[in-house]
């Protein structure tokens, strides 16, 4: 594969890094195949092809590229536990999709007689993959080009081995033969690396392919990602196009409103524009700004989907939908569905709900204003959704430690912006303690190197989390990984628990299911770990229990911290009573039969993490307290002096010494809370009424003063 290597080495922006050849079942033994690499550098198109005899349905050149068959059979160390990824390279646009698609289409159309054969290729910007990357097979939609993830490549490249299926314009491969092509590749790759998961990303028509392959291969570790699958074709207006196209003269290439609506979403976002020969494409066409910038758009679409190809594809969709619906009961693979709420071609939103009711392990992510070709739209980040859904893994089972992907700056910025209102309202004051005992404003006192264990008070419904984790990341580039209640990771098809998207930010920012094993592994990786001994009882406290700790009688974390020499940083937070009034708490709800029944149902859906304990700390019943807002005051955080446990492993084998240190940590948290409650009374800018004039004079990003310390 010298050609591919050449393109990589000179850094040319290219469509294809390598061609991974597959052939249909009818031609697998009697047809030579081509591998091709092509570049779309500005001002030139470079095509190099080689002809080889290849009778296998999967690549024979993997070893030539330095691949190790055994590398997928072990688990890699996770990314840095404390820091975020650097930002990825700029993603491509819809303009790039059409330009690169046309290079592929024209190249295949001008080739030899075998250019109707579907083939795999890997985009140059996607590789080579890193060790232990799962395989991602992209199965295209009605266009068949295979570049439907072009706006996602820049994010997918580091964590997946990306292969894309290209179905040439003149290909008339039946649906069942397409299924065979994908299935043979899946089986071959599974034999080569049996411990590596295989992701099938099915876009539109590709969704039917993915479902059928998964149904026929229940023993292979397949994960499905479906975007508006065409399993609902029988309920679509698209099927009415078939008789129209059959009688339409050849000179009328396309029913343009229908085709251009593939790229449209919310009608409110459509625009009116003058294009080719002064014609006006009204709002019905749904052109996006990217399309406006492409004068040859109509010709491009006609080349990708000429009339005869469109007619064939529509019949293919009809056949695919009919076949795959009879197989849905056999699909056992975990499934993540991307569903568009403004799909003009298919009832995708309703279809997602139908599939959710049939498939045993299925989750839906809805995009209200998006159209049919979801992955080509701006603002859609496939990888972020995968991470938020805990849908990424490198082995047979997902590992919340080794499979964690730290947030990128863009992900963190988006999460931060969505919570900026709370940070702005409460204008938090953060104090920390240096090694010499000096108290400073800011987080300079937090240890840079792990392992570090942060232990403190959990405010009502966790109000303190967003400002604290955000400040640690922005000021010190420290990612606090919280040991969280299992409900953050629960996935049920019905019940009273909040929908999974409600906790997306927790999972993206590194939350881990609370368990002794996960605690051990985080410390072993020298992570910055956030632990609340008071748990749900503290976060869902009752009236009059503000700032009261509900810790178990016996130590839970001291020995573990000492085992790894972790620094224990106690911290106190106050301010919940400056933003909320608790008006209807757990005790009130238990007196009401309706709410009592709801709490009983929630108890059945969740795990009681304190079942071995006695007393109030064991009362972990989940409920939603009723709160009303009040004129905002201010949040205050105080991180105490780090407590060293290095070298104390043997000493802390003594139960009494362990208990002594445990009580010391708890008393430190109580001392820090008491200090903040007292000192906030001296803060002239505690109230937002006082802060706003100061910020108006000095700028709203200015550092607002606080009490003397």
Kindly report, residue by residue over 319-360, the tens digit of the pLDDT. 999 999 999 999 999 999 999 998 888 899 999 999 999 999
Contact 55, 32 (CB under 8 A): no
Cα 480 to Cα 468: distance, rounded to the nearest angstrom: 9
Spatial neighbors of 592 by CB under 8 A, at least 6 apart, are none
Confidence grade of residue 421 (pLDDT, cut at 50, 70, 90): confident
In a domain, 401, yes or no: no
The token pair at 9 is 């080495």
**Judgement on whether residues 364 and 427 belong to the same structural domain of the protein:** no
In a domain, 605, yes or no: no
Kindly report, residue by residue over 203-240, the tens digit of the pLDDT. 999 999 999 999 999 999 999 999 999 999 888 877 77
- Domain of 143 in residue numbering reads as 2-28+41-69+101-388
**Judgement on whether residues 130 and 218 belong to the same structural domain of the protein:** yes
**Judgement on whether residues 180 and 241 belong to the same structural domain of the protein:** yes
Identify the residue whose tokens are 């008339």: 172
The token pair at 520 is 């051990």
Neighbours of 288 (CB within 10 A): 20
Half-sphere exposure of 563 (CA within 13 A, CB side): 12
Looking at residue 1, what is its pLDDT?
36
Is 274 exposed, middle or buried, given 0-12, 13-18 or 19+ CB atoms closer than 10 A?
exposed
Contact 190, 219 (CB under 8 A): no
Looking at residue 493, what is its pLDDT?
59
Half-sphere exposure of 618 (CA within 13 A, CB side): 7
**Judgement on whether residues 358 and 471 belong to the same structural domain of the protein:** no
What is the CATH classification number for the domain harbouring 204? 3.40.50.1820
**Judgement on whether residues 363 and 414 belong to the same structural domain of the protein:** no
In a domain, 15, yes or no: yes
**Judgement on whether residues 119 and 152 belong to the same structural domain of the protein:** yes
DSSP 504-550: HHHHHTT-EE--HHHHHHHHHTT-EEEE-TTHHHHHT--TT-TT---
Contact 465, 638 (CB under 8 A): no
Give φ, ψ of 193 to 5 degrees.
-140, 80
Spatial neighbors of 128 by CB under 8 A, at least 6 apart, are 8, 17, 65
Where do the DSSP E strands lie in 186-235?
Answer: 198-203, 222-227
**Judgement on whether residues 289 and 327 belong to the same structural domain of the protein:** yes
Cα 240 to Cα 428: distance, rounded to the nearest angstrom: 60
Q: Which of the two residues, 59 and 184, has the higher pLDDT score? A: 184
**Judgement on whether residues 353 and 464 belong to the same structural domain of the protein:** no
Containing 281, the helix (H) or strand (E) segment is: strand 280-281
**Judgement on whether residues 384 and 468 belong to the same structural domain of the protein:** no
Neighbours of 612 (CB within 10 A): 8
In a domain, 322, yes or no: yes
Domain total in the chain: 2
What is the CATH classification number for the domain harbouring 683? 3.40.1130
Q: Quick check: 259 pLDDT over 60?
A: no
Q: What percent of the chain has pLDDT over 90?
A: 52
In a domain, 313, yes or no: yes
Cα 109 to Cα 634: distance, rounded to the nearest angstrom: 66
Cα 228 to Cα 208: distance, rounded to the nearest angstrom: 10
In a domain, 326, yes or no: yes
Spatial CA neighbour of 536 closest among 520, 551, 555, 557: 551
Neighbours of 279 (CB within 10 A): 10
**Judgement on whether residues 291 and 196 belong to the same structural domain of the protein:** yes
Question: Mean pLDDT lowest for which of 35-49, 252-266, 270-284, 655-669?
Answer: 270-284
In a domain, 708, yes or no: no
Cα 33 to Cα 21: distance, rounded to the nearest angstrom: 7
Strand partners, 452: 528, 567
Identify the residue whose tokens are 């289409």: 105
Spatial neighbors of 691 by CB under 8 A, at least 6 apart, are 427, 634, 685, 704
Contact 222, 214 (CB under 8 A): yes
Q: Quick check: 573 pLDDT over 90?
A: yes
The token pair at 413 is 């910025």
- Mean pLDDT over each residue of the chain, to the nearest integer: 79
Contact 563, 524 (CB under 8 A): no
Kindly report, residue by residue over 579-588, the tens digit of the pLDDT. 999 999 999 9
Which of 388, 418, 433 is the last residue in one of the domains? 388
Looking at residue 258, what is its pLDDT?
47
Question: Which SS3 state, helix, strand or coil, does residue 355 take?
Answer: helix
**Judgement on whether residues 326 and 427 belong to the same structural domain of the protein:** no
pTM: 0.82
**Judgement on whether residues 155 and 275 belong to the same structural domain of the protein:** yes
Kindly report, residue by residue over 119-160, the tens digit of the pLDDT. 999 888 876 777 789 999 999 998 889 999 999 998 898 899
Q: Please write down the long-range contacts of 188-191, taking CB distance under 8 Å and 24 or more positions apart.
A: 188/56, 188/57, 188/58, 189/58, 189/135, 190/220, 190/221
Q: At CA 194, angle to CA 188 and CA 200, rounded to 5?
A: 65
Give the CA-trace dihedral at 79, 405, 85, 129, to 10 degrees: 80
- Is the bond preceding residue 454 a cis peptide, omega within 30 degrees? no
In a domain, 131, yes or no: yes
């Amino acid at each position: 594969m010298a050609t591919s290597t050449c393109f990589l080495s000179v850094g040319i922006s290219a469509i294809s890094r390598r061609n991974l050849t597959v052939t249909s079942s009818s031609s697998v033994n009697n047809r030579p195949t081509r591998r091709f690499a092509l570049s779309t550098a500005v001002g030139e198109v470079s095509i190099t092809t080689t002809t080889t005899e290849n009778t296998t349905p999967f690549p024979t050149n993997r070893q030539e590229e330095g691949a190790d068959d055994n590398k997928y059979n072990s688990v890699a160390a996770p990314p840095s536990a404390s820091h975020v990824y650097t930002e990825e390279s700029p993603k491509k646009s819809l303009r790039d999709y059409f330009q690169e698609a046309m290079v592929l289409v024209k190249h295949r159309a001008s080739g030899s007689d075998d250019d109707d054969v579907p083939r795999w290729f890997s985009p140059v910007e996607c590789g080579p993959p890193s060790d232990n990357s799962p395989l991602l097979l992209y199965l295209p939609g009605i266009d068949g080009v295979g570049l439907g993830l072009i706006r996602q490549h820049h994010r997918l490249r580091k964590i997946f081995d990306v292969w894309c299926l290209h179905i040439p314009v003149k290909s008339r491969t039946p649906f069942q033969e397409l299924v065979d092509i994908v299935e043979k590749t899946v089986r071959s790759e599974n034999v080569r690396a049996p411990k590596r998961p295989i992701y099938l990303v099915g876009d539109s028509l590709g969704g039917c392919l993915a479902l059928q392959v998964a149904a026929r291969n229940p023993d292979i570790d397949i994960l499905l990602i479906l975007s508006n699958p065409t399993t609902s074709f029988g309920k679509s207006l698209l099927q009415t196009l078939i008789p129209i196209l059959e009688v339409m003269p050849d000179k009328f290439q396309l029913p343009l409103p229908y085709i251009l609506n593939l790229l449209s979403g919310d009608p409110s976002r459509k625009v009116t524009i003058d294009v080719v020969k002064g014609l006006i494409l009204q709002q019905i066409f749904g052109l996006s700004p990217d399309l406006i910038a492409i004068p040859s758009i109509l010709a491009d679409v006609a080349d990708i989907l000429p009339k005869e190809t469109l007619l064939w594809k529509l019949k293919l969709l009809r056949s695919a939908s009919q076949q795959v619906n009879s197989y849905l009961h056999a699909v056992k693979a975990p499934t993540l569905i991307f569903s568009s709420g403004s799909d003009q071609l298919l009832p995708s939103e309703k279809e997602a709900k139908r599939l959710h009711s049939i498939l045993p392990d299925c989750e839906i992510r809805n995009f209200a204003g998006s159209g049919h070709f979801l992955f080509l739209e701006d603002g859609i980040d496939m990888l972020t959704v995968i991470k938020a859904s805990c849908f990424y893994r490198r082995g047979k089972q997902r590992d919340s430690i080794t499979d964690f992907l730290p947030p990128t700056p863009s992900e963190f910025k988006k999460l931060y912006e969505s919570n900026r209102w709370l940070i702005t309202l409460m204008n938090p004051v953060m104090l920390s303690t240096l090694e010499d005992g000096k108290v400073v404003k800011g987080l300079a006192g937090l240890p840079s190197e792990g392992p570090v264990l942060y232990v403190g008070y959990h405010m009502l419904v966790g109000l303190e989390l967003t400002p604290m984790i955000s400040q640690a990341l922005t000021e010190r580039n420290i990612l606090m990984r919280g040991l969280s209640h299992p409900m953050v990771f629960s996935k049920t098809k019905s019940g009273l628990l909040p929908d999974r998207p409600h906790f997306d930010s927790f999972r993206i920012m590194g939350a881990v299911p609370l368990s002794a094993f996960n605690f051990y592994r985080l410390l072993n990786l020298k992570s910055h770990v956030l632990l609340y001994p008071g748990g749900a009882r503290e976060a869902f406290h009752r009236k009059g229990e503000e700032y009261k700790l509900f810790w178990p009688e016996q130590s839970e974390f001291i020995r573990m911290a000492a085992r790894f020499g972790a620094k224990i940083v106690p911290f106190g937070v106050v301010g919940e009573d400056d933003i909320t009034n608790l008006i209807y708490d757990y005790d009130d709800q238990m007196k009401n039969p309706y709410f009592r029944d709801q709490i009983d149902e929630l108890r059945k859906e969740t795990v009681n993490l304190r079942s071995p304990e006695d007393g109030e700390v064991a009362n972990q019943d989940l409920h939603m307290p009723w709160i009303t807002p009040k004129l905002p005051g201010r949040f205050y955080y105080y991180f105490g002096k780090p407590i060293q446990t290095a070298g104390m492993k043997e000493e802390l084998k003594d139960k009494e010494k362990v208990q002594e240190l445990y009580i010391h940590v708890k008393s430190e948290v109580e001392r820090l809370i008491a200090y903040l409650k007292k000192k906030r009374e001296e803060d002239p800018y505690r109230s937002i009424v006082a802060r706003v004039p100061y910020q108006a004079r000095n700028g709203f990003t200015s550092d607002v003063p606080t009490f003397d310390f």
